[in-house]
Every structure is written in structure tokens, then in C-alpha cells.
Structure 1
Amino acid sequence: MTLILGMLLDALLGEPRWLWSRIPHPAVAMGRLIGWCDRSFNTGPRRRLMGTMTLIELCILAGVIGWLLQLIPGKVVDVVILAILLAQRSLVDHVQAVGDALRLSLGDGRRSVAMIVGRDTQDMDTAAVTRSAIESAAENLSDGVIAPLFWFAVAGLPGLLIYKVTNTADSMIGYRTPRHAEFGWAAARFDDLLNLIPARLTAALIWAVASRPNPAPIMQEAPLHRSPNAGWPEAAMAHGLDIALSGPRSYEGALRDYPFVNAAGRHDLGPDDIDQTVRVLWRTWALTLVLSVLATILI
């Protein structure tokens, strides 16, 4: 029941600005702590060891906080924390904002998508802006919704908080840059491990709601993706909507010639495709809710 109420509360309220403008969001607090660790410990010749020890300590801290919170009588705290750390409503709002902005102008679309992706956006055309938004939707559906639900179901608040601190660390220091290739190695690898099952569950859910009868193309293309996990929901979304995703893009002025996922799909994308993606996000959420209700009844 906690899982169901948390999903409903997140879908209803999202991330109320009046609250998080006054106090730091837990994910923001995690980010500040990780940033302090990066500044304090990412030095010297043993950066991989320091990064590994840092991640272990962060996970222990997150697990202990989750365990202590679970000791509070009743389930209100569990529901509220789960709702806060889910991202269904905020994901939908951010992705839909890109489509709405594109309908105003290409410049508005570029500025809107720049808020949710890390690639260069200044030279994107309408199709590239749309692809970026849809790819972000697919990946963050796994990272921000299905994975937190999975780890909460498996290990309660400790599991949820350990997942969130790891995922936040990966998003901050898990890059193969000169500064973070060693220090962020453990965060990136542990995040890959924690997302192994949720990413594939997300792909299965997207495939189910997109009504594509043949999952074989997803299973063939997903393992070829540069990410061991992101390729699964991305391939499911690409084949589910019959569109081409991924492809070449620029980071910090350097072009990376990534192959397209579902290269035979439509390349001429626009705001209507973002609308369709949002519908898939909500259908996936609804199917997850139904499965959670059934699991609750059976268990």
C-alpha cells in the first residue's frame, strides 16, 4: 500500500515549488554532500580508492538514515519520502515543457531542452531537440521512477536512499573526464549494477503499453548502446513510437558520432512526438500502478 500511495502522491503533487524554494530537496542535499566529498577527497594518486571509500560511506549513511526513518511508527513517513524521491510528475512536466516551447519557437525549444540534457543545444534543429527530450524521458523514466520503486519494494527506505545517493553521485562524478574518471569509477559501476534490472523492467513496461508485438528489435539493439542500461528504455521507446533516437550529438563542442537507435524509424520529429512520449510515460506509470495493486493483493 505504501508503494501505491507514494506513486499517487507524486503524480498528484510532483515537486511543489513553494516547498522546495524554502527548504532543500533531499536530492539537492545529497548533491551538496557529494560535491563536498568531491572537493575534499578527489585528490592525490589514489583517486579510485578514495572514490570507492567515499561511495561506501555515502551508501552506509543513506542506509542508516533510511533504517532510522523506518522505525517511526506508521507509514506516513515512508509514503512522503517515496513520493518526494519519485520523479514521474516532474519528468512529465519537464518533457512536456520542451514540446510546448518548440511550438513557440526553435530557440525556446533549445532553451527548454537544455534544462534536462547535458549535450550542446545551441545548434540543434527541431528534430534534434525532440530526440533529446524523448531520450531523456526514456532514460529518466527508468532512473527516476521505476528504479526507485524497485529498490523501495526490495529494501524499503534504506534501499531507496542507497539507490538515490548512488544515482546522484553517478550524475555528478560518474563521467570519464580527467577529473572524475578515477574518483567517480565506483559510483558509475555501482549505479550500473543497481539499474541493471530496473532498466530492463522499464523497457518491458514501455513495450507493453506501446503495443508493439515483436520485442526482438529492442533486445537486439539495446545491448549495442554505449550505456549498459540506458539503451533498454531508449530502444523500447524508439521502437514503440517507430522513431529514430540517439545518433550524432555534440558535447562541449566535440561531435560524437553515435549510431541511431531504430535507424529505420522516422527522423523528422517534432512536438507531436513529445506529446506521444508523454502519453507513453503516463501509460507506463498506470501499468506500474496496476501491477503494484495486484502484487499488494496477492502478497
Structure 2
Amino acid sequence: MTTQFTGILAAVATPLTADGSAVDAAGVRRQADHIIGGGIHGLVPGGSTGEFTTLTLDERKRLTELYVQAADGRVPVVAGTGALSTADTVELSVHAQKAGAAAVMVVPPFYDALTFEELKAYFAAVAEATDIPVMYYNIPSATGVHLTPGQLAELARETSVSSYKDTGGDFAWFSAVQQGHSDDITALNGWDTLTFAALASGAKAGVWGTASVVPRLCADLYEAVAVRGDLAAGRELWAKIFPICRFLETHNYACGIKTGLELVGVGAGPTRRPVLPLAPEHRAEFARLLRAAGVEVVDA
């Protein structure tokens, strides 16, 4: 249960067939090879970037299996398994362990916000059913769950939660956990536009959707800032990456990522309704941002 992740873990898309009706196995392989080949250190399917709320339980299981197979031991796979019920979350988490996932990422149920006691019971159920680490997915805007740093550390002490992906956007809160509770839980940045700040402050890892589109730039940023401590080189890279991150945060994220994947030549199919494709002018803007970052665009 002590597995700790380092590096950049890509929040990955769910490749779908052209009509959006099924998970595309060949598309999963294409994503994995593109991302791992770009130097990224792990894959996180089944999260927000992966449109998990639009997938059936069987599709979510299949997606985990396909990404584990496609990774083929090259990097760890952290499977998103959070659901609206404890039973579904446990079922998905048990399956992920059997499928070979290195860990699971669990978001709290995202309709009725849980109390802290309910949250601990929810994660305890996952801990009792599995023997792999759990990454807590902190995304208060979707779950309504706002933990204090101390509560997050308590959750880790009492369950199998060993790390958390912070998609809260509150850097002071992130820093408070990182600085005050690192013995209990490992902080992973999950807010794109805070990536440079998080790495510069000592975060050892991040879960980052942008890394699916421009993996080499993201891996180079990690190497410069987190490994070498070369902030000057990191700033140069960040000047290229930040506009892309900013763009993605101002549109539907999963749709933005899938648009980016098409633009760099590793398309993952459409997003599922109700999400609509990006408007042509936004697609063109994204293509300009990628070119400005030195990325070859094959489909503008």
C-alpha cells in the first residue's frame, strides 16, 4: 500500500468509435503509444477527461482492461473507479485490481455531497475490498465535498488512500496539505494551469490531461523543474504549455482534449452527448496554440 507515484501521469481520453457507440480498442492502443512514447510516466483512464459519467459499468471495466493491456507494463495505470454508489465503486475497484491496475482513483459520489463520516465509510469499503493504493480525486466543484487539509490526512490514515489528485484550483489549500501532511498523503497536482507552481513547490507528480495531447512538452517540463530544478528552462517550456492549459480550462475539458488529439494526429473519436464538438473558431484557435508551442498539427 506504500506505492507512491512520481512524474506526470496522463489523464487519458476514452477513445470511441466514429458514432460514439462503443469503446475503440485500437484507439486505446494509439493513445497509450503516443503518450508513453512521449515520455509520460503513467496513465489514468476513467476520470473526467475520460468522460466516465457517460460510460456504462461494463464500458468502464473494458476501458481499464484495454489501457492496462496497451501500457504493457511500461508505465503504471491508475484506473478511475468512483461512482454514485458504494457498491458500484467497490465493483469497479475490485475489477481494476484484477485487471492489473497499479492503483485506483476514486472520486466521491457527485450528486449529494457526503459528510466526512460518510466519506470515510465510502473509502473504507474500497480499502476492505482491494489491496492496491487509492488516489483520492479532489474536485469540489463536481462533488460538493470540501475537506480541510487535516481531514484529508485523517482520511489517508484511516483508509488505503495514499495520494490525492487535486483538481480544486486552490493552491494555498494544496500547499497546506503538501507542507503539513506529507507524511500521511502524497499531493499530486491535477489543475492544469497550476502545474508549474506545483512542481516548483516540490510536488513529485501530477495527473494532467494536457499530457495526452503534448506528452513530450509535459515530460520535458517535469524533467526541467522537478528533476533538475532548472527553473529557467522550466519557464521557457511553461510559456509554451500554459496557453494550451488555459485554453482547455475555458472549454469543456474532455472535448478540448479530444480536439487536441485530432489536431496532433492521434484522434480518439467524438465526445458523447450532451457534449458537442468545439466550434470551428475554437478548433482553429487551439491549432494556433499548438503550432506556437512547436507542435506539428496534422488536422486543422
TM-score (norm 1): 0.30
Structure 1 or 2: larger helix share? 1
Structure 1 or 2: larger strand share? 2
TM-score (norm 2): 0.30
